[in-house]
Amino acid sequence: MASDERLKTHIDAQPPPQRSKHDSVPAAVDPVARDIADLVLGAIPSGILVTDPEGIVTLANPAAAGIFGAWLTTLTGRHITQIRGELEAMLWPTDKGEILLLDTSSPSGRVIGFTSRTLLRNGKPEGSVIIFSDITDHKAEQTAVAHRRRLADIGQLVATMAHEIRNPLAAINSLGRLLQQEEAITRDSETHLIVSKILDETRRISRLVDDILGFSRERALNLVQANVVELLETVVGDMRVRMADDPVPLTLLVDESAREDGRHWRLDAEAGRQVVGNLVRNAVQAVQAREDRAPQHAVRVRLSREGNLLRIAVEDDGTGIPEANLPRLTEPFFTTRVGGTGLGMVVAERLIAQHGGRLEVRSQEGVGTTMSVLLPA
């Protein structure tokens, strides 16, 4: 009993803890306890602020200073609104609060998520303790995930509609071909022209449906050792046949560096034909669209090896692309061509990315365009 009384007398004799306005924790009687408190506060990744009943910051940990971009000594001893006016909301008790801080380092601002509690002593408020962190990246990721889900839902809907359109479209195309062969139709030039226009439009809609399906779903690639030289020869040959009514000089040039490697490169051959075919078709149409078109205006497909990359470049002497339109080339539904879907380049870029490659575009209005597909080994 005597020892208990001596201990009580010793504790009562100790001076009350003193607070230094620049300390992360109050000055304590036991320096070991103070060091441990400082270590704990310094290790916590979230920001911590303690205020008195008037909103004056009495304690701040290093993470709080880091989030606000201020030295620790500039946080303590100031009213919380002197740090940032928006922080006044932190003084109200809440479980999941958020505030937006406009910041020159982030054009859209930073989102701070916080939890605030009132400190009570004997039922009376002694101030607030606030735990907070920068959740800007987390919020952006949440928005991105929600956006991807919406796109996936839209893609599924579009794919379903495209499939439903294909069935009656195929029937119309088959009936149109039968009508075109009827003797009564072939004798009547006007009716024959109408049926031909119907078939032309069904083919255009069919291409649109194919582009929509390619855009709405990401297909699995069948990567094999493909003969790229042979693939390009096929694409060039097909295009020469298709433009028989309005021919454009079209050549395939295989650089010595790719003459051997180009015959055994790993890629999806069907996807390769689709991508290069789309680029060559765009190049031919760009040349055909020139008002000052001359015999020397042509399209060239070049195959070369650059380190561990295979480059397929489609060069044209066409109308060129206005500089303002270059960033929009792979934007869905953007097109400047009458009858274009604005999806061909989107699908092409996606297929190239699936191969781990990239698309490069160089263009000068009135001079021509070069679109290059770079595929890794």
pLDDT tens for each residue of 202-255:
877 887 777 777 776 667 788 888 889 999 999 999 899 888 778 899 999 998
**In 3D, which of 259, 242, 352 has the Cα closest to residue 302?**
259
Q: Rounded to whole angstroms, how far apart are CA atoms 68 and 52?
A: 20
Which of these three, 134, 161, 183, is where a domain ends?
134
**In 3D, which of 145, 165, 132 has the Cα closest to residue 46?**
132
Q: Is-contact 193 237, C-beta < 8 A?
A: no
Which of these three, 198, 216, 234, is where a domain ends?
216
DSSP calls for 296-343: T--EEEEEEEETTEEEEEEEE-SS---GGGGGGTTSTT---STT--S-
Phi, psi of 128 (to 5 degrees): -140, 150
Task: Determine, yes or no, domain membership for 169.
Answer: yes
**In 3D, which of 138, 91, 148 has the Cα closest to residue 110?**
138
Task: Determine, yes or no, domain membership for 139.
Answer: no
Where would I find the H helices in 217-262?
A: 228-242
Q: Is-contact 19 7, C-beta < 8 A?
A: no
Task: Determine, yes or no, domain membership for 243.
Answer: yes
At a CB cut-off of 8 Å and minimum separation 6, what does 77 contact? 21, 22, 56, 57, 58
Q: Is-contact 330 349, C-beta < 8 A?
A: yes
What is the CA 281 to chain-centroid distance, rounded?
Answer: 27
* Pairing verdict, β 299-306 and 224-226: unpaired
Q: Considering its fold, how many domains does the chain have in total?
A: 3
pLDDT of residue 12: 45
Within this chain, do residues 235 and 280 fall inside the same structural domain, yes or no? yes
pLDDT of residue 10: 39
Within this chain, do residues 203 and 242 fall inside the same structural domain, yes or no? no
pLDDT of residue 334: 73
pLDDT of residue 283: 92
Give the model confidence (pLDDT) of 295-306 as tens digits: 899 999 999 998
**How far from 361 is each of 116, 166, 305, 373, 375, CA to CA, in Å?**
52, 33, 18, 9, 15
At a CB cut-off of 8 Å and minimum separation 6, what does 162 contact? 209, 212, 213, 216
pLDDT of residue 118: 93
Mean pLDDT by 10 residues, the chain (377 residues): 42 43 50 74 88 92 87 85 89 89 73 92 91 89 84 74 80 85 83 86 79 71 87 91 86 87 82 91 91 91 90 93 86 71 80 90 92 89
Residue ranges making up the domain that contains 95? 2-134
DSSP 219: P
Within this chain, do residues 123 and 172 fall inside the same structural domain, yes or no? no
Within this chain, do residues 357 and 251 fall inside the same structural domain, yes or no? yes
Within this chain, do residues 167 and 254 fall inside the same structural domain, yes or no? no
Within this chain, do residues 57 and 81 fall inside the same structural domain, yes or no? yes
Q: Rounded to whole angstroms, how far apart are CA atoms 360 and 279?
A: 12
Side-chain-facing half-sphere of 306: CA atoms under 13 Å: 14
Within this chain, do residues 193 and 110 fall inside the same structural domain, yes or no? no
Please report, for the domain that includes residue 305, its CATH number.
3.30.565.10
Task: Determine, yes or no, domain membership for 345.
Answer: yes
Q: Rounded to whole angstroms, how far apart are CA atoms 270 and 89?
A: 58
**In 3D, which of 116, 65, 66 has the Cα closest to residue 89?**
116
Within this chain, do residues 315 and 175 fall inside the same structural domain, yes or no? no
Within this chain, do residues 234 and 340 fall inside the same structural domain, yes or no? yes
